[in-house]
Amino acid sequence: MIKKIAVLTSGGDAPGMNAAIRAVVRSARSYGLEVIGIHEGYKGLVEGGENYEPMTRKSVTDIIARGGTILGSARLPEFPQPEVRERGIQQLKEHNIDALIVIGGDGTYAGAKRLHDHGIRVIGLPGTIDNDIAFTDYTIGFDTCLNTVVESIDKLRDTCGSHQRCAVVEVMGRYCGDIARSAGLATGAEFVVTNTDNNDLQTILEKTKTFKEQNKRHPFIIVTEHLFDVHDLARKIEDYSGYETRATVLGHVQRGGKPSSYDRILASRLGLAAVERLMEGESGVCLGVQSNQIVATPFEEVIGKSKNLFEEYDDYIKLLC
Ligand code: F6P
């Protein structure tokens, strides 16, 4: 029987992580469990000391609407090293922690799997704006990020329309096109460039030339990060198509802000489910949502898998532009 659990956030922060922490703490307390919040992700887990904070219902008052993570997040590239991991396991034992909930992305799960392989009970929750976790339709933070991206592109549309300019907008997503495709469909963009489709330079240039021939006033091209230097791409589009072109990199603004209702609800459901499943003896899995049902998938089936849930949006964008 578990009496004491810990929760940490790791990797890039995502709106809704606080709602997940709140759900973990509140549900655990409702079930009579003690809860430790571990600050600064795996780094804090290994270092111990003040990074281990006992949490009460009050510790999570008024955080459901806050972006970021009150526990902080850090990347610890050394965690795979056996001696570093062993220090972490010792810390968990010294604090009498029976089970752990980690909230983050793929790298977070890799760390969690290592702990699970060493006998620590652990469940992962998908917290990342990228939506790049294979087993879940949505990750905590994606919906809020998408709303931020859409709002920004709507604003760009005002100015690009006024000047008859082509806009190249770089969005995050790591190697997943979900943010780009969803934003493309939601903003009526002309073309979306992701790592799984027509992302060669010549295709993009030809597209923009066609938009010019069609007399499109201000075409929008949304590009997933890591594929192009978008400022350079904008110059090439300008030369080839004749459109005056501006590039905008939305950057880390995409990670901030109040979580949307959807992210708060998803985070609350998943946080509660994680506590209940740990109490039922489940471990070594990540929780996610498929067709609005909570599902559990073993870490090894999830880590390193790619996902492009919204590939069909490319066709819709083509037909609607
Ligand atoms: O994984 C979330 C994410 O925001 C990615 O979209 C992006 O590639 C990366 O993190 C940026 O990381 P950092 O904040 O370390 O620059």
| Domain spans, the chain | 4-141+259-302, 143-256
Q: Residue 197: what pLDDT?
A: 65
CB-ligand 1 contact for 105 (6 Å cutoff): yes
CA contacts within 13 A on the Cβ side of 149: 33
Contact 63, 22 (CB under 8 A): yes
Q: How far apart are CA 88 and CA 79, in angstroms?
A: 9
Which of 133, 172, 252 best tests ligand 1's pocket when mutated (most atoms within 8 Å of CB)?
A: 172
The widest CA-to-CA distance across the chain, in whole angstroms, is 69
Segments of the chain with pLDDT less than 70:
197-198
| CATH class held by domain 143-256 | alpha beta
H or E stretch covering 41 = helix 41-47
Q: How far apart are CA 224 and CA 70, in angstroms?
A: 29
Which of 129, 142, 149, 254 best tests ligand 1's pocket when mutated (most atoms within 8 Å of CB)?
A: 129
Q: How far apart are CA 109 and CA 10, in angstroms?
A: 9
Strands (E), 194-240: 220-224
Q: Tell me if 4-141+259-302 shares its fold with 143-256.
A: yes
Residue 12 alpha carbon to ligand 1 centre in Å = 6
Q: Residue 77: what pLDDT?
A: 87
CA contacts within 13 A on the Cβ side of 97: 29
CATH code at 4-141+259-302: 3.40.50.450
CB-ligand 1 contact for 37 (6 Å cutoff): no
What would the pLDDT profile of 188-211 be if each residue is shown by its tens digit? 999 999 987 667 999 999 999 999
Q: Residue 306: what pLDDT?
A: 84
| CA 154 to each of CA 151, 223, 263: distance values in angstroms, whole numbers, following the listed order | 5, 16, 22
Q: Residue 76: what pLDDT?
A: 87
Q: How far apart are CA 207 and CA 210, in angstroms?
A: 5
